[in-house]
Structure 1
Amino acid sequence: MYTSNISKFNKRTAIAIAVAGALTNASAYAAENDSSVKKKEKEAEIIVVTGFRSSLKASMLNKREAINVSDGITAEDLGKFPDQNVAESLQRITGVSIDRSGGEGQYVSVRGFGPQFNMVTVNGRQMATENSGREFSFDTLAAELITGADVYKSPTAEMQEGGIGATVNIKTARPFNFEGFKAAGSVKGVYDDLSGETSPQVSGLITNTFMDNRLGVLVSASHQQRDSQTNMMETRYYRPGVNFTAQNGKEFNNVNVPQNFDIGVDEQERTRTSGTAVIQYAPNDELTLTFDGLISKFEVDSQATNAGHWFSEGNFIDAEVDENNTVVYIENSNAGATDFIRRSFGREVDMNAFGLNIEYMVNDALTMTVDLSRSNAQENSGGKEFFNVIGYNNAYTWDNRAGGDAPTLSVAGGDAALLNAEAGKAHYNERNGWDRDDQLNEYRVDFEWETGQDTFTQMRWGVYSQNRTKEASRLFASDCGVYCGYGTDVSSALLTPYVANDFFAGVPNTWLTYDPAEYGAYRASLDPITGEAYNNPTSQSDAYTVEEDVVSAYVDFIFEGELGDMPWTVNAGVRYSKTDANLSGITRELVDLEPIPNDPSDLNEIYAAGDNGTPVTSSNKYTNILPSMNLKLELTDEMLVRLAYSETLTRPTMSALNPAVTITNSRPNNNQASGGNADLKPYLSTNWDFSYEYYYADTSNFVLAVFSKEVDSFITSTVAKEVFNLESGSYDFDVRRPRNGDVVEVNGLEIAWTHTWESGFGIQANATFVDSDATIDDSASESFALEGLGDSQNIIAFYEKGPFQTRIAYNKRDEFLQNLVSPFGGSEPLYTESYAQWDISASYDINETITLFGEGINITNEETRRHGRHQNQFVRLESTGARWAVGVRASF
């Protein structure tokens, strides 16, 4: 297993750690996984650190001793991570930014490279993921079970390939990190401002060693509930290149038209249950066996209620556009509709991981480590997400001319028109959702040889094998062919008023809602056959399976010496990697598109009778040689510089390898399809890093780093017109596919300063500035840009003295490209605007055992705003509100 240190437990480092008294449980685990661990140095592992200042000291020491460019965070005490969420702690690190879901950190970007470009491991092992790609969802893990996390920004040859941005290693506790019995636990209540609900969260850990510290057992568990609320309004996406004539005679050519305007509230019940178990056995001083397991179950029960208005330019009485040819004002006739929408954004994730690690000291110079692991992640949401619409014809006016945070909406008849239960009629209904299963097996053997020489001090080599299978299928059902078009009355007894509290200004805050199950039963009573089909969703043609085998081997060398009186260390190595993938998808024969009665805005897709899908298979193979070099020169006892060169790769997103083509939208003059590319090769990056680090006190430093990455074979998304010849005629489809080809250059600057005073006050500040030559082509035929690229800044002020500790943190992420193609629909890009958030925490030690604490997240209730290709193309505004927690923590 890799670590950030070259000879982490040589005498010099062990003495430094012992003198500083700052090796934490987490860093001890990193050493535990390092094949260079020596039993005779075990005392250096068991140094417990508590408090934010000590955590800071340990992280700073780890960074200083590392051979490569890295940063890290460490638990302040057993079961006490700096933030409520692992990703939210990682965002405090220079160069790291996050994406949130429901106000919680979910994905991590590093140095402008989005989640798919970062390799995430747990205890040095890659984890299976429940999503469509390789990116890891941090919200599936409870922070209380984590002892630390390291972000490796320049690799060594022993590190598993895959992270162009960085490799992030999350660490959990081991019983050999402690001597004897240790227990810790916490209980807290979390209050969400918007929902007004308080939810419980509990966690605990117990560990002990036996047989003269040769046998250790550790178990930990966490259960968290959260009742949250998200207020939102959105247009979903804009349709470019639209030509129309308004009913007042105005002509519009090549304009961007918003697809709809929805306002709504998503009420979520989040439940996260996680646990770990570890057994360690050292029968003698040469052999250590570690067996560990991790399980996590994360469920999001989402119940959203919206009031929506669909925009069809044929119903526009009047419209206005701005300088970007974007429609900013719509007066819609009563041929339009007001829709009352019930939908779900739920998740149901099951994840587990098990591993066996065998560390054997062959002799005083040679150590062998064997590691076997297996992880599995499942998303079980197939057919469980719903989208139901009841509506009626109505006139309304939508206005975005002011260019504020969001448009305004006024409905004919005033807000009371949104409460007319007698007018409700059935419209569109669907069941949707993905089932995914990711199985990942890893095997590795590593050797480390201490040469005993003065200059050539160490050699490491090893082999690695991974077998991974990801299967994904989408279950879908719709009764649109029967009910679309507002032709069927709905019983007024189903509809009740909904009041959105603390809602946005300029739009109604009251509309009709209903129970989706009762509405489904009502439709089934009208048409039992259609109801039966709706309740039994079927697998769709966008299902895919990726079977991937990776075999790697590496060797690296460590050299040490002095330049004058300046110590230097060089790590140089090379990694060989071979990837073989077998890919399969499903294609269905589209024979026609048929109009839907009463709904001219949509078309029915007609497939060949009895065609449940034909398998499409392909394969993909490639081999890569990845050299790396890390140089550290200690200018003085306080100052050092680093220089690193490496070549890294990131494999394509697994869903992008699907060899089949899938229809994604079928509407008059707006037909869309997407397909994968089984021949995609990995992103390949050439990287340079330089950093200057000045450690002028145990908990104070200044760091300046610059980096450059040139990414070849960058995967871009292209759109081309393709003609589908169907029974009723020929139809143009915009078909989007990924391909390799372009080169992206990313350059960046990182600045970090940490200073503490003897009075107990301290400050951390850092900023990351990134730039790239990749920009989106306004022709919209080709998308070529780096998702997640943006500047970020952090400031943390803290006070810790005696039993009292408090901290306030500010994090800002500048505007960035969220998606090349908006996940909300259409073919246009999606940007997330600049977002800043304030968090606070405080604690008081009653005694050495009991601590009272309080936390506040997003205390100023900041909102997230997203826009399309142009700034004025409003796409989404959402508010998750502030959340507060109070609790008690005990450690024995």
Structure 2
Amino acid sequence: MKQRLANLPTLAGITALAVFICTGTAWAQAGPSVQGTITEKESGALLPGAEVALQDTQYKTRSGSDGRYRLDGVPAGDYTLVVNYVGFEDFEASVSVTASETVTLPIELDARYEFADEIVVQAVRFGQSKALNEQKEAVNIKNVLSEEQIQSFPDLNTAEVLQRVAGIGIQRDSGEGRFVSMRGTPSAMTNVTVNGHQVGYSNTENRMVELDVISAAQLSGIEVTKVLTPDMDADSIGGSINLKTRSAFDQPDGVTNFTLGVGDNSIADGTHSRSSFNYSTVAGRNQNLGFSVGVNFARTAAERHNNEQRWGSEDTVGGVEIPYALTNSEVQFSANNRDRYGANARLEVRIDEDNKLDFSVVQNYREDDQDRQITRIRWDRGDYISATEVEGLRLVKSLHDRLEEQESTTYSVAGEHRLGLTLLDFSLSTSSAHTKKPDGQLRPEFQARGYDLGVIDIGGKAPRWDPARMDIHASDAFEFDIVDEKFENTTSTIDAATLDITRPMQWNSDTGELKMGVKLRALHKERADLRSRWRWRGDDLYLGQFEGTGSNITEGGYNIGRVYNREAFRSFFYSNQGPGGFEEEVRNDVNLGEPYNAEEDITSVYAMSTQEYGRLTMLVGLRAEFNELDYTGANLVVNDDDVISNTQENVARSYDFVYPNLQFRYRLDPETNLRAAYTRSMARPNFWDSMPFSYTHTDDEEITRGNPYLDPAISDNLDFLVEHFLPNVGIISGGVFLKSIDDFNFVTATTQRGGPFDGFDVESPVNGGNAELMGIEVAWEQQWNSGFGIYANYTYTNVLSIDLGEQTDRDDIDVLPEQRERLGNLALIYEKNRILTRLALNVNGRWMTEVGESADFDEWNDSAMYLDYSFTYLFDNGLELFLQANNLTEEVVYLYLGVGSRSSEHNITGRTWGAGMRWSF
């Protein structure tokens, strides 16, 4: 806090400088105003972001989120007021302004669609109109998804919704989208907010946000910001994603709707189900109170049948080196029953036209119950006769039995107050998140020794072995070895307060505004896991005593042998602990070495001026962020399993950065924008990489350590875009972006020099890298009068240069981790009368998941194509029946090491279908 107060003079100086550079500006003068609310004529729904102007004058504005517009300081006289909105007829009206009165002019706009009397327009087209209009009128580059568009694709969670946006790739877990990355950058370089408030981090080690926790049914829209403005947090090199929940004032007549659905997966046992309910109303004497509430639930039964390989250098019994030998193979059958719960509530108070308050809470919870049956072949525990023949190896049967809980909750209060011509905004928010395994994760292992096996198709995507040469069904073949038990507990909170001031201002321009603000953000994150090994001290224990009844054949055709009865083993384990039974060996390397505590206080200040010169809109601004960090970790020295020493280390440090921002939008004609921008942004290092921890294993002569002095990656960004908005609610756009990223973090291997551990191998994250990234994005969205339409986009990214600095010998890397060279979407659409249908193809290019010690050991996720389908039939009474299907071609997720013929993972998740109803009234 003292340091934060010490920063205030600097903050004030930067703000004063931002105002000073506007020397010669003219503040808008108080006087008569023209104001009102803009709505859609048929439904009365509010229209935010409408362009409002007094013709042939410099007086321009845009309607706010509540549909209201206000033109201040208008001299007395007669004017023509004009309004422009995507998908609606242009509006004109005569206005007479006197010196002493405020003119109130409500405006109703007519839909411009060629088939505006059709039922389909009432929802899909209207929602898309609002989304495209917001995109068109924004001073920066962004994509906006409406609630109607979100519902039109068969996407269950937020990550899957975002894969439809140009430049966004997703990572999947058991077939379901989880993490997103933007514009060729890693997932941790993308910021995620809910209603503008940052989401807490539930991940144990990094800054990635698990978007599979948040149901698509909870959202009223999504803003994907690709070029930041100075009033946004700077930690978004890839971009920023804002998830929006419903406002009662979106539809003042009130909304009540619910959804019910069921489904299935082609390879999983269990039925999918989902339901949601949303209600909103506007009340009060002056219709000034808005209340909205929503709840949702989804249950999925997902299965993943996969084959995993590990490779290394081995010698045959004859002394011949096998440079890439199979050292470990696993066949897994993983069943995940996932329950998702979501709830949101919002109270909006319009005290009067100049004062508003907004209270909201958004909560999401996910429960993932996993039963993973594993058969593992330890090739490296036998004698290699050749690369495809091993004698005397070891077989292991193991189980992953765990229940994982993840929760994310955000509370916020925001206010808007107008003092004359000055607009004052404030917000207070707190966001918490956690990941826990409250009942512990059990991983028992049973082993069998002395098997001779041969590998079949070692260069294929799923190498096989000869099952005739191994008896994996014998009840006494697998004897108990060990149980690994782990309790996870990671929590984080983010508290934030913002204050923004906006005032009309002209800088030798037609119209403009100056906006300044300050933000205080405090983050706390900690991890405290517990882990133990348990050994059996009683009579011989065999797998046959816990045999289950499930299938032992995976979709890949593998016979994994006997499967566990997870309930039987868990019951036996907890009932037989103590002398003569299961005896505990505490994992001090985890319990003492992995807990950490992170405190981050970030103070931000910014100033930005937005000016209009005829068709040209210019934004110039500056943001400064002052970071105070306090990290605590453990320095642990172990020999085998014995702890030699354990000390806590605390590191406190600070750093400051300034982020300039310059953006231009030129309106070539009323429906075409040319855009250009230069911005600077950053990405903070992952939490675990930044901790002052170290593991020193004296028996292996290895050290793994964090680096609390890591600096954030800094990116200078150039963006160019042309976008043309089509009359029947569509868009054609194309652009280029370039990013010069300095000081990105990566893990390097070195040798310890000096001290008691001289000569030990050291693995640690470092700064020093630089990369030049270029990308091209094109998009086409159009609907024809016939009802047919297209939704398409394509993104290409390429690293122009990359330099990892002096910390590593690798000079052959030409991609960034998680960078997809190609991303694309193509959806064929039919929307006519009562039918809405989409056949959607999503292409996710290959990407590097992990940088190895050499190119041969880089791990790659191969490219994949997913084909999805949705069909909806609309009735007059607001009822909708829908049918949805995902992964129709049963695409396989394939990972490989170095080259495509060296398989790392081969995952089969099957296809999913669902059907149900939505009813709005």
Shared fold, TM over 0.5? yes
Q: Which of the residues 336, 345, 365 maps onto 1:277?
A: 345
Whole-Å separation in 2 of the counterparts to 1:752 and 1:352: 34
For 2:448, the aligned partner's letter is: Y
Give the counterpart letter for 1:890 in structure 2: W
- Could you tell me which of 434, 437, 440 is aligned with 2:494? 440
Inter-CA distance 614–851: structure 2 relative to 1 (3 Å threshold): same
Change (3 A) 1:46 1:126: farther
Which of 332, 348, 351 is the matching residue for 2:390? 332
The structural deviation recorded for 1:385 is 1.9
Letter of the aligned partner of 2:302 in structure 1?
A: S
Shift of 1:535: 9.7
Q: Distance in 2 between matches of 1:159 and 1:101?
A: 30
Distance (whole Å) between structure 1 residues aligned to residue 38 and residue 664 of structure 2:
21
User: Is 1:504 aligned to 2:573, yes or no?
Assistant: no
Please point out which of 588, 607, 612 is paired with 2:643: 607
Q: State the distance in 1 between where 2:333 and 2:503 align.
A: 60
Which aligned pairs between 1:645-794 and structure 2 lie closer than 5 A?
645-662=678-695, 673-722=703-752, 734-772=761-799, 773-774=801-802, 786-790=816-820, 791-794=822-825
- Bigger radius of gyration among the two: 2
Q: What is residue 572 of structure 2 aligned with on the other side?
A: 521
Q: Which runs of 5+ in 1 are unaligned?
A: 1-6, 321-328, 594-604
Q: Tell me the residue number matched to 1:326.
A: none
Alignment match, 2:867: 838
The 1:700–1:534 alpha-carbon spacing in structure 2 relative to 1, beyond 3 Å, is same
Call closer, same or farther: CA 1:95–1:462 in 2, change over 3 Å: same
Match of residue 375 from structure 2: 307
Q: Determine if contact 1:342/1:516 at 8 Å carries over to the other structure.
A: no
Q: Give the Cα separation in 2 of the matches to 1:885 and 1:557.
A: 49
Pairwise CA distance, 1:166 = 0.5
Q: Match of 1:133, SS? A: coil
The 1:310–1:645 alpha-carbon spacing in structure 2 relative to 1, beyond 3 Å, is: same
Report SS of the residue matched to 1:213.
Answer: coil
Distance 2:455 2:249 in 1: 64
- Greater shift after overlay, 350-359 or 39-48? 39-48
Q: Show the counterpart of 1:245.
A: 315
Question: C-alpha distance in 1, partners of 2:847/2:806?
Answer: 17
Pick closer, same or farther for the CA change 1:740–1:20 going to 2, 3 Å: farther
Query: What is the distance in 2 between the residues matched to 1:465 and 1:138?
Result: 25
Q: Please state whether the residue corresponding to 1:419 is helix, strand or coil.
A: coil
Mapped contact 1:272–1:299 kept (Cα < 8 A): yes
Alpha carbons 1:50, 1:76 under 8 Å: kept: no
Shift of 1:496: 4.4
Q: Does the 8 A contact of 1:184 with 1:889 survive in 2?
A: yes
Residue aligning to 2:400: 343
Map 1:68-87 onto structure 2 (within 5 A).
68-76=140-148, 83-87=155-159
Distance between the aligned counterparts of 1:20 and 1:251, measured in 2? 81
**1:870 positional shift:** 3.0
CA spacing shift, 1:518–1:732, aligned 2, 3 Å: farther
C-alpha contact (below 8 Å) 1:394/1:412 kept by paired residues? no
Partner of 1:601: none
- Which residue does the alignment assign to 1:178? 251
Query: 1:97-246 maps to which residues of 2 (within 5 A)?
Result: 97-131=169-203, 132-211=205-284, 212-235=286-309, 237-239=310-312, 242=313, 244-246=314-316
Alpha-carbon RMSD? 3.6
Instruction: Check the 8 A contact 1:75/1:81 in 2, yes or no.
Output: no
Q: 1:454-485: per-residue Cα shift (whole Å, max 9, x none)? A: 435111110011000000122111136x68xx
Greater displacement, 200-209 / 634-643: 634-643
The residue identity in structure 1 corresponding to 2:447 is: G
Q: Would the alpha carbon gap of residues 524 and 145 (structure 1) be closer, same or farther in structure 2, given more than 3 Å must change?
A: closer
The 1:883/1:866 distance shift into structure 2, 3 A limit, reads: same
Q: Name the structure 2 match of 1:263.
A: 331
Q: Which residue of 2 aligns with 1:545?
A: 597
Native 8 Å contact 1:78 1:184 kept in 2:
no
Aligned to 1:802: 833
Q: Report the more deviating stretch, 736-745 or 544-553.
A: 736-745
Distance in 2 separating the partners of 1:780 and 1:267: 40
Matches of 1:795 and 1:354, distance apart in 2: 38
Could you list the per-position Cα deviations for residues 62-118 of structure 1 after superposition, in whole angstroms to 9, with x for gaps in the alignment?
222111111121111898776322221211111111111122211111111121001
Amino acid at match of 1:674: T
Q: 1:281 to 1:44 in 2, by over 3 A?
A: farther
Instruction: Pick one of 622, 630, 637 that aligns with 1:574.
Output: 622
Whether the aligned pair in 1 keeps the contact of 2:259 and 2:918 (CA below 8 Å) is yes
Deviations 1:28-84 (A, max 9, x none): 9x9766999759799789999754444443332222211111112111189877632
User: Does 2:848 match 1:817?
Assistant: yes
Contact 1:68 1:154 in 2 (8 A): yes
| Equivalent position amino acid for 1:606 in 2 | D
Amino acid at match of 1:116: A
Q: Secondary structure at the match of 1:185?
A: strand
**Cα displacement (A) at 1:341:** 1.1
1:325 corresponds in structure 2 to none
In structure 1, distance between residues paired with 2:477 and 2:217:
51
Rounded Cα–Cα distance in structure 2 between residues aligned with 1:100 and 1:201: 20
Contact in 1 for aligned 2:48/2:65 (Cα 8 Å): no
**CA deviation profile, 1:794-853 (whole Å, cap 9, x unmatched):** 10111011111111110011110123369xxx9954211001101110111122321111
Give the CA deviation at 1:301. Answer: 0.6
CA distance in 2, matches of 1:124, 1:789: 27
Q: 2:157–2:213: 8 Å Cα contact kept in structure 1?
A: no
Residue matched to 1:94? 166
Deviation (angstroms), 1:357: 0.4
1:427 match: 481
Structure 2-normalised TM-score?
A: 0.83
For residues 771-808 of structure 1, give each alpha carbon's deviation from its aligned partner in whole angstroms, at most 9, with x where no partner exists: 11338999986697522101111101110111111111
Choose the corresponding residue for 1:882, options 897, 903, 911. 911
Which of 130, 142, 155 does residue 58 from structure 1 map onto? 130
Q: 1:343 to 1:475 in 2, by over 3 A?
A: same
Q: How far, CA to CA, are the matches of 1:35 and 1:258 in structure 2?
A: 64
Specify whether residues 534 and 520 from structure 1 end up closer, same or farther in structure 2 by C-alpha distance, changes over 3 A only.
farther
Q: 1:74 touches 1:81 (CA, 8 Å); kept in 2?
A: no
Q: CA deviation at 1:215?
A: 1.1
Matched to 2:910, the amino acid is G
Contact 1:657 1:677 in 2 (8 A): yes
Alpha-carbon distance, 1:530 to partner: 7.0
Residue 411 of structure 2 is matched in structure 1 by: 354
Question: Which shifted more, 96-105 or 836-845?
Answer: 96-105
- Report the 3-state secondary structure (helix = DSSP H, G, I; strand = E; otherwise coil) of the residue aligned with 1:656: helix
**Cα pair 1:79 1:184 within 8 Å, conserved:** no
Provide the rounded CA distance (Å) in 2 between the counterparts of 1:570 and 1:740: 35
Is the Cα–Cα contact under 8 Å of residues 651 and 708 in structure 2 kept in the other structure?
Answer: yes
Q: Which residue of 2 aligns with 1:297?
A: 365
Separation in 2, partners of 1:786, 1:625:
25
Farther off after superposition, 450-459 or 877-886: 450-459
Matched residue, 1:323: none
State the secondary structure of the residue aligned to 2:562: strand
Partner of 2:657: 624
Matched residue type, 1:112: G
Matched AA of 2:515: R
Q: 3-state DSSP class of the match of 1:422?
A: coil
Provide the C-alpha distance between the structure 1 equivalents of 2:628 and 2:48, rounded to a whole number of angstroms.
Answer: 35
CA-CA distance at 1:256 after TM superposition:
3.5
Task: Give the number of equivalent residue pairs.
Answer: 830
Distance 2:396 2:543 in 1: 15
More deviation, 184-193/421-430: 421-430
Q: Which amino acid aligns with 1:692?
A: V
Per-residue CA shift, 1:611-667, capped at 9, x if unaligned?
Answer: 6x421110231101101111011122333211100011111111111101136x89x
